[in-house]
Amino acid sequence: MIGVIDTDGDRADWAERAEWHFPADPGAVRHARARVRKQLDAWGLDDVGDMTVLLVSELVTNSLRHATGPIGVRLVRPVNGSAPLLVEVSDPLPDPPRERSAEPDDEGGRGLQLVACSARRWGTRQGRTGKTVWFELSLPG
């Protein structure tokens, strides 16, 4: 793992944030899952833990397959109200991911379908040096 940054950002009045950067190597998926799980547990968000970890795994795996630089993972938790949990996975590749139809025997191609079916909303945005794939999960309560 390259680094861990816990930030309050400009909007500390409405959200808590946690952010990590991982090198583009196979251990990134395992490390990302562990850090996300630990942070969600610390925030008391166990109810969305399994789904969040699964979707982060899919997106980090996609980044590993297509990008060569560091992979960023960020969680933004609303403190007040009924706002959703925001999860972002960034990499230096500027090309947006493409959903594709996977055949029953295909080993890949289901990650974005899983995100699209499981998340409240999802999308991509270009950054200065790459892209971010984000999704929102509704929080219980």
Domains of the chain and any CATH numbers: 3-101+108-137 (3.30.565.10)
Ramachandran angles phi, psi of 126, nearest 5°:
-80, 145
The least confident of 12-21, 40-49, 88-97 is 12-21
14 contacts 83 by C-beta, under 8 angstroms: yes
pLDDT at 103: 62
Q: 83 falls in which pLDDT band (50, 70, 90)?
A: confident
Through-space distance between the first and last CA atoms of the chain, rounded to whole angstroms: 33
Whether residue 140 has pLDDT greater than 90: no
> Which residue matches tokens 């945005």?
125
**More confidently predicted of 95 and 110:** 95
pLDDT at 2: 32
What's the number of CA atoms in the CB half-sphere (13 Å) around residue 63? 33
- Find the mean pLDDT for residues 65-73: 90
pLDDT at 26: 86
Whether residue 80 has pLDDT greater than 80: no
* CA–CA gap between residue 87 and residue 80 (Å, rounded): 17
Whether residue 106 has pLDDT greater than 50: yes
Give this prediction's pTM. 0.84
- Residue 95's identity, in one-letter code, is D
- Find the mean pLDDT for residues 56-67: 91
Query: What is the pLDDT of the chain when averaged over all its residues?
Result: 83
Whether residue 114 has pLDDT greater than 60: yes
* CA–CA gap between residue 17 and residue 40 (Å, rounded): 11
